[in-house]
C-alpha cells in the first residue's frame, strides 16, 4: 500500500520560542546566543530581521554586532525548547501514533492509516500548520510524500509555514533537480566526493550505477541511491515504541567493602569507564544516569539523575555518579556493591546535536577534549586490549564479581 508520510519542521525554532516568551523581541533584530556577556559568544539562532542584516548562525557576537549594532541578544532557555518540542509532538500524536522525532524541532509522521479520518496528506499538513500557529504559536513547514527522504526534502523546500507535496507523479521534475547535498544523510564529506564525481543533483545520483556507488561509499552508497530513486522504505516508528536498547549498565561486588570517598571514586571510575565505552561502541548517548549501592547487610539503594544534555563521555558519567553518591550515601558507611546504569538511550546522531551549539567556547573546548580522550582510549583498547589503558584511580583493581547488564525489550 502506498504510504503517506509527513515531515514537520519548526521554522526558526529557538528564535520563535524566545519570541513567544518575550514578544518585544519581534520588534527588531534579535538573536539567541550562548553567552550574551562575552564578545566571543556564538550566535545560535536569529530572527528574520537579524537575518536581513546578514547575521549568521555560528558566528561570534562580535562579528554579528559589527553588521547589526542594534542586535538584541538573549540567552537560550533550554527547558522551554524541550517543553515546546513536546507540545509539537502532542499535536502530531492527535493524528497518528507513528510520530518519530528527528531532532528537537522536527518529526516524521506516517498518516497512511488516518487519512480516512482526516483527509489527504496535504489536507492534514495544512491543518497541522494552522493548528500549530493558532494553538502553539509556532510555524512549521511540512513535506508530504510517499517516503521519508522526500518528505524531509519537502519541509525544506518552502519556508516558513508552507506545505510541499512530492508525489510519485511529480518527483522527477521537482526532486531530481535539487542539489545532491540536500538529500538525507548526505554529509559534507559525501557531498564533496559526489561533486568530484560529477554528481551534482539528486537526479544525477538516481542515475548512478549501484555497483559504482557501492564501491565508493559502501553501504551508504546503497542507501543514498535508494533515497534518490524514491525507494526509501524505512518505516516511521511509533512514538511509543521501545527504542532498541533501553539501558547499558555495569555492577561490581567488591572483594573487600569500599569505605570512604576515595575508594568509592575508584569503583565508580572503573564502572563508568566500562559503561561509557559500551555506549560509544554502540553510537548511543544516555539521558539518565543511575547508580545502585548495596551495603554489607544487603540493603539496596538506587538513585538517578537526568542530564542536562545526553552524553557518552566517561568523565560526565563519572562526575554525575559521584554527585549522586555524595548526595545519597554517607561516606562513612561501607559499600559492598556499586552499579552504574546509563538509561534513556538515544542514537548519538539524533541526540539534538543542535544543543551543542549552546556551549560557551570553553564548554565546547572541554567537551571536545573529552571526546578526543575517550576516542583515543577506545582506539588503544581496540588495538591492544581492554587492560591496555587503566585510569589512575582504578589501578587497585577492586573486582571480584563484575556484571554487565543490557536490557533489551
Ligand atoms: Mg527547524
Which residue out of 2, 106, 297, 319 is catalytically annotated? Answer: 106
Q: How far is the CA of 39 from the centre of ligand 1 (A)?
A: 26
CA distance 182 to 184: 7
pLDDT of residue 374: 83
The set of cell numbers assigned to 289 is 544516569
Q: Cβ distance 275 to 342 under 8 Å?
A: yes
pLDDT of residue 385: 67
Of residues 377 and 261, which shows the higher confidence score?
A: 261
| Close Cβ partners of 191 (under 8 Å, ≥ 6 residues apart) | 180, 181
Same domain, 223 and 319: no
The set of cell numbers assigned to 145 is 510524500
Same domain, 154 and 183: no
Task: Give the structural domain span for 3.
Answer: 1-175
Same domain, 233 and 266: no
Domain boundary residue among 150, 175, 200?
A: 175
Q: How far is the CA of 104 from the centre of ligand 1 (A)?
A: 8
The CATH number given to whatever domain includes residue 226 is 1.10.150.20
User: Tens digits of per-residue pLDDT, 46-63?
Assistant: 998 999 999 988 888 999
Same domain, 17 and 98: yes
Q: Which of 82-86, 323-327, 371-375 reaches the highest mean pLDDT?
A: 323-327
Residue 106 designated active-site: yes
pLDDT of residue 400: 46
Same domain, 313 and 355: yes
CA distance 249 to 288: 12
Q: How far is the CA of 217 from the centre of ligand 1 (A)?
A: 28
Residue 204 pLDDT level (bands cut at 50, 70, 90): very high
Same domain, 204 and 284: no
CA distance 345 to 322: 20
pLDDT of residue 79: 80
The arithmetic mean of pLDDT across residues 281-297, rounded, is 89
Residue 399 pLDDT level (bands cut at 50, 70, 90): very low
Same domain, 128 and 16: yes
Residue 177 pLDDT level (bands cut at 50, 70, 90): very high
Lowest mean pLDDT among 18-22, 120-124, 396-400: 396-400
Q: Kindly report whether the peptide bond that precedes residue 291 is cis, defined as omega within 30 degrees of 0.
A: no
CA distance 370 to 392: 16
Q: How far is the CA of 129 from the centre of ligand 1 (A)?
A: 14
Domain boundary residue among 134, 151, 175?
A: 175
Same domain, 26 and 125: yes
Lowest mean pLDDT among 143-152, 286-295, 303-312: 303-312
Of residues 149 and 389, which shows the higher confidence score?
A: 149
User: Tens digits of per-residue pLDDT, 92-101?
Assistant: 999 999 999 8
Structural domains in the chain (count)? 3
The 8-class DSSP code of residue 130 comes to: H
Rg, the chain, Cα only: 24
Same domain, 216 and 329: no
Q: How far is the CA of 151 from the centre of ligand 1 (A)?
A: 14
Same domain, 159 and 271: no
Q: How far is the CA of 225 from the centre of ligand 1 (A)?
A: 25
Q: How far is the CA of 133 from the centre of ligand 1 (A)?
A: 15
Q: How far is the CA of 10 from the centre of ligand 1 (A)?
A: 4
Q: How far is the CA of 140 from the centre of ligand 1 (A)?
A: 8
CA distance 288 to 304: 7
Same domain, 170 and 182: no
Average pLDDT of every residue of the chain: 87
Q: Cβ distance 20 to 335 under 8 Å?
A: no
pLDDT of residue 384: 67
The arithmetic mean of pLDDT across residues 314-327, rounded, is 94
The arithmetic mean of pLDDT across residues 373-381, rounded, is 78
The CATH number given to whatever domain includes residue 265 is 3.30.1490.100
Neighbour count for residue 315 (Cβ, 10 Å): 18
Domain boundary residue among 185, 203, 238?
A: 238
Residue 397 pLDDT level (bands cut at 50, 70, 90): very low
Q: Cβ distance 87 to 75 under 8 Å?
A: no
Q: Given a cut of 70, is residue 409 above it in pLDDT?
A: no
Beta bridge partners of 252: 338, 402
Q: How far is the CA of 85 from the centre of ligand 1 (A)?
A: 11
Q: Cβ distance 387 to 395 under 8 Å?
A: no
User: Tens digits of per-residue pLDDT, 236-279?
Assistant: 988 887 655 678 898 888 888 999 999 999 899 989 999 998 88
Same domain, 186 and 97: no
Q: How far is the CA of 105 from the centre of ligand 1 (A)?
A: 5
Amino acid at each position: 500500500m502506498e504510504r503517506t508520510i509527513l515531515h514537520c519542521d519548526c521554522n526558526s525554532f529557538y528564535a520563535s520560542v524566545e519570541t513567544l516568551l518575550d514578544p518585544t523581541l519581534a520588534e527588531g533584530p534579535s538573536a539567541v546566543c550562548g553567552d550574551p556577556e562575552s564578545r566571543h559568544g556564538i550566535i545560535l539562532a536569529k530572527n528574520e530581521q537579524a537575518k536581513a542584516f546578514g547575521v549568521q548562525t555560528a558566528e561570534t557576537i562580535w562579528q554579528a554586532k559589527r553588521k547589526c549594532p542594534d542586535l538584541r541578544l538573549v540567552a537560550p532557555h533550554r527547558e522551554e525548547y524541550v517543553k515546546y518540542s513536546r507540545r509539537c509532538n502532542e499535536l502530531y500524536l492527535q493524528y497518528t501514533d507513528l510520530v518519530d522525532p528527528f531532532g528537537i524541532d522536527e518529526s516524521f509522521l506516517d498518516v497512511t492509516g488516518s487519512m480516512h479520518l482526516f483527509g489527504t496528506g496535504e489536507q492534514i499538513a495544512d491543518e497541522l500548520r494552522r493548528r500549530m500557529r493558532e494553538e502553539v504559536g509556532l510555524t512549521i513547514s511540512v513535506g508530504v510524500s510517499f517516503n521519508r527522504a522526500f518528505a524531509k526534502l519537502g519541509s525544506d523546500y518552502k519556508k516558513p509555514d508552507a506545505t510541499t507535496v512530492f508525489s510519485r507523479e511529480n518527483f522527477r521534475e521537482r526532486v531530481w533537480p535539487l542539489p545532491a547535498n540536500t538529500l538525507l544523510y548526505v554529509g559534507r564529506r559525501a557531498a564533496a566526493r559526489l561533486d568530484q564525481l560529477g554528481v551534482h543533483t539528486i537526479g544525477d545520483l538516481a542515475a548512478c550505477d549501484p555497483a559504482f556507488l557501492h564501491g565508493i561509499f559502501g553501504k551508504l552508497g546503497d542507501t543514498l541511491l535508494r533515497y534518490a530513486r524514491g525507494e526509501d522504505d524505512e518505516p516511521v516508528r511509533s512514538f511509543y515504541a521501545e527504542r532498541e536498547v533501553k539501558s547499558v549498565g555495569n555492577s561490581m561486588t567488591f572483594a573487600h567493602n569500599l569505605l570512604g570517598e576515595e575508594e568509592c571514586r575508584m569503583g565508580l571510575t572503573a564502572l563508568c569507564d566500562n559503561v561509557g565505552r559500551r555506549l560509544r561502541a554502540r553510537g548511543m548517548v544516555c539521558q539518565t544516569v543511575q547508580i545502585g549501592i548495596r551495603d554489607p547487610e544487603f540493603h539496596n539503594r538506587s538513585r538517578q539523575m537526568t542530564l542536562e544534555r545526553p552524553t557518552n563521555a566517561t568523565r560526565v558519567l563519572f562526575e554525575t555518579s559521584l554527585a549522586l553518591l555524595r548526595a545519597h550515601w554517607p561516606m562513612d558507611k561501607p559499600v559492598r556493591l556499586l552499579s552504574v546504569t546509563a538509561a534513556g538511550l538515544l542514537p548519538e546522531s539524533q541526540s539534538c546535536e543542535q544543543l551543542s551549539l549552546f556551549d560557551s567556547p570553553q564548554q565546547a573546548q572541554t567537551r571536545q577534549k573529552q571526546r578526543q580522550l575517550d576516542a583515543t582510549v577506545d582506539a588503544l583498547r581496540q588495538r591492544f586490549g581492554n587492560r591496555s589503558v587503566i585510569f589512575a584511580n582504578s589501578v587497585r583493581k577492586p573486582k571480584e564479581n563484575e556484571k554487565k547488564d543490557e536490557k533489551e525489550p
